[in-house]
Amino acid sequence: MVITLVLRVRAFRTECRSWFDAASARRQLMPARETEAIILKTFPLGEADRLVSFLGRSSGRVRGVASGARRLKNRYGSTLEILSHVQIWYVEKETRELVRIQQAELLESFHKAQSDYGLSTGLAVISEVSELVLPEHEVSEAMFRLVLLAVREIERTGDWTLPLSYFAFWTVRLGGWLPRFDRCSQCGTPFGGKPAFYDARHSGLFCEKCRRSGMKSLQLGARNLAERFTGERFDRIALEKPMQESARELREASLAWIEHHTERRLASRELLETA
């Protein structure tokens, strides 16, 4: 009788232990994920950590914690700089919204752009727009490539004006927010060589007659540049002096449409005026 009881207790203990072992094994085996990524933004978190928002090629936009990243000696180095192109390893927690970032390795450095005030203003706009238009955990190969292309061109040319125009225009296009560029959204009159008009309160482009007060103009040159952006490889388009104004108009109009559709004001947009 006593022996049977002892055996039963032992069996019960063994069962408990194997159940615990299995549970802890499950926790440990929660696989680390890996993706090519672009760092969108980081914030200090507590004394030692950083909150990191990144756009993963295979994960979409994800937010996570890089623990110890604020310590002088840390394992992340310069990988968490804004718009760095990295390979990132992280673990998802079932119950929490934030992932745990384990490791990051730099794939491509944009040090020149990151350390220059004027150029980093361009990066800040790309970062803010991406944060705004990309839903969390939604993979977007097109946006990933667009962000990377724009940042590479800023780094390569040492100029943000044309890359930022291209980025803003294509973000509007990928968002499905681009109005017709050849005729008035309201009355249908073709613009021909005449200016078209826009603002952040409307989604369309308007003719001289339908324009509301305060609207800004989008001249033929800017509309032609949009056509080049659509049809030509971006790294083959060189910024020539006469294009400056068209690039500015197209960028301003695109950012206005982004603000209209996301119903948010872009804080970094004002910095562009002074950069």
Task: Give yes or no for a contact between 221 and 165, defined as CB atoms under 8 angstroms apart.
Answer: no
Instruction: Pick the closer one to Zn ion by CB: 87 or 186.
Output: 186
> Which pair of structure tokens corresponds to residue 198?
């826009």
Instruction: Pick the closer one to Zn ion by CB: 99 or 184.
Output: 184
* Largest interatomic CA distance in the chain: 102
Instruction: Pick the closer one to Zn ion by CB: 99 or 196.
Output: 196
Phi, psi of 11, deg, nearest 5: -60, -40
DSSP structure class, residue 204:
S
The CB-of-226 to Zn ion minimum distance in angstroms stands at 19
The CB-of-176 to Zn ion minimum distance in angstroms stands at 22
Tell me the residue ranges of DSSP E strands in the chain: 33-45, 49-56, 60-66, 85-91, 99-108, 196-198, 216-218
Q: What's the distance, CA 89 to chain centroid?
A: 18
Instruction: Pick the closer one to Zn ion by CB: 125 or 184.
Output: 184
Residues contributing to the site for Zn ion (CB under 5 A) = 184, 186-187, 189, 207, 210
Instruction: Pick the closer one to Zn ion by CB: 152 or 211.
Output: 211
Q: What's the distance, CA 178 to chain centroid?
A: 19
d(CA 44, CA 65): 10
Q: Which single residue is written with the structure tokens 């992932």?
A: 99
Question: 136 by DSSP, 3-state: which?
Answer: strand
The CB-of-41 to Zn ion minimum distance in angstroms stands at 40
End-to-end, the C-alpha distance of the chain in Å comes to: 87
Instruction: Pick the closer one to Zn ion by CB: 74 or 189.
Output: 189
The CB-of-197 to Zn ion minimum distance in angstroms stands at 9
Alpha helix ranges (H) inside 82-186: 111-115, 117-133, 141-157, 161-174
The CB-of-213 to Zn ion minimum distance in angstroms stands at 15
Q: What is the DSSP string of 82-94?
A: TT-EEEEEEE--T
The CB-of-205 to Zn ion minimum distance in angstroms stands at 9
The CB-of-185 to Zn ion minimum distance in angstroms stands at 7
Instruction: Pick the closer one to Zn ion by CB: 189 or 268.
Output: 189
